[in-house]
Amino acid sequence: SAVISQKPSRDICQRGTSLTIQCQVDSQVTMMFWYRQQPGQSLTLIATANQGSEATYESGFVIDKFPISRPNLTFSTLTVSNMSPEDSSIYLCSVEDSRASQHFGDGTRLSIL
Amino acid sequence: ELKVEQNPLFLSMQEGKNYTIYCNYSTTSDRLYWYRQDPGKSLESLFVLLSNGAVKQEGRLMASLDTKARLSTLHITAAVHDLSATYFCAVDRDSGGSNYKLTFGKGTLLTVNP
């Protein structure tokens, strides 16, 4: 399965600031996905990122708050903008493989003070 | 809107016992996933079930899928402490398409006691 690297692994940020999370995959993939896992909760899909097109956002998530880039088939970034304590979560990127399985990166643990 | 319900949400087991975690979902789908998450870690893929009647086994875990009943089960046989973790099921809402958008259940926190 694909090896997925996320940076940073964790961060503590001040409210009102923005943080960009990077996701690097060791093979070319068509789609990359960004999920959020709030403390003690399950995972919620934020958006789907295809190379060369704008990301598709799920209900409740907007581009101004979570801008996403997908410049090539192995890389994507998610920015969490104008952060508030409610954005404290784990953010995970994932990719699908040829066997319809979906694999996750190690996640970025974000705390906002 | 696809809803995925897991039960139980909390499960405390004795070592050596058997138990089943259930995953019900509300709309048609042919792809169901089981993941394991250890505290502070990411998700580890356990099983991908792609058709009605699919059954997969790995060690003490066995997963099955009944698409007609919209039900998947994760059966634990002779539990050991190392199986303590949170287990998630997830369903692909695109059913047979190529978008792989997963809706997750709330997870089952499994604790195996000696």
Rounded to the nearest angstrom, the gap between the alpha carbon of residue B68 and the centroid of all alpha carbons in its chain is 17
Mean of per-residue pLDDT scores for chain B: 91
Torsion sign across C-alpha atoms B7, B110, B37, A80:
positive
What is the pLDDT confidence band of residue B97, given thresholds at 50, 70 and 90? low
**What is B4-113's CATH number, 1.10.287.130, 2.60.40.10, 1.10.3720.10, 3.50.50.60?**
2.60.40.10
Sequence-ordered list of residues with C-beta below 8 angstroms from that of B104, at least 6 positions apart, any chain: A42, A43, A44, B4, B88, B89, B90
Is A101 or A58 the better-scoring residue by pLDDT?
A58
Residue B71 has pLDDT above 60, yes or no: yes
The domain limits of chain B are 4-113
pLDDT class for A1, splitting at 50, 70, 90? confident
Of A61, A15, A56, give the one whose Cα is nearest residue A36: A61
Whether the per-residue pLDDT at B98 is higher than 80: the answer is no
A-chain CB neighbours of B45 within 8 Å are 1, 101-104
Would you state the pLDDT for residue A53?
A: 81
Write out the DSSP string of B71-107.
EEEEEE-S--GGG-EEEEEEEETTTTSS---EEE---
Q: What is the per-residue pLDDT for A100?
A: 73
For A105, which DSSP code? -
User: How far is the C-alpha of B30 from the C-alpha of B92, rounded, in Å?
Assistant: 8
Residues A106, B41: C-beta atoms closer than 8 Å: yes
Size of interface A-B (CB pairs under 8 A): 49
Residue ranges of domains in chain A: 4-96
β-strands B43-49, A108-112 pairing: unpaired
B4, pLDDT greater than 70? yes
Phi/psi at B82 (nearest 5 deg)? Answer: -65, -15
Comparing CA positions, the residue from B12, B31, B33 lying closest to residue B113 is B12
B23, B43, B46, B94, best to mutate vs chain A, most A CBs in 10 Å: B43
Residue-wise pLDDT for B16-52, tens only, equals 999 999 999 998 877 899 999 999 888 999 999 988 8
Distance of residue B110 Cα from the nearest chain A Cα, in angstroms:
14
DSSP-assigned beta bridge partners for residue A95: A32, A103
Torsion angle of the four alpha carbons A106, B23, B12, B110, in this order, in degrees rounded to the nearest 10: -10
B31 shares contact with chain A (CB less than 8 Å): yes
From the number of C-beta atoms within 10 Å of its C-beta (0-12, 13-18, 19+), residue A111 rates as: middle
Residue of A nearest to B50 (CA): A100
Task: Choose among A41, A43, A102: nearest Cβ to B100.
Answer: A102
Structure confidence by residue, pLDDT tens digits, B31-41: 899 999 999 88
The answer to whether the CB atoms of B104 and A96 lie below 8 A apart is no
Bridge partners for B66 per DSSP: B71
Question: Hey, what CATH topology would domain A4-96 get?
Answer: Immunoglobulin-like (2.60.40)
Tell me, yes or no, if B51 comes closer than 8 A to chain A by beta carbon: no
For B95, the closest chain A residue by CA position comes to: A100
By C-alpha distance, which of A84, A101, A93, A111 is closest to A25?
A: A93
Please indicate if any CB of chain A lies within 8 Å of the CB of B39. Answer: no
Probe site for chain A from B6, B9, B30, B42 (most A CB atoms < 10 A): B42
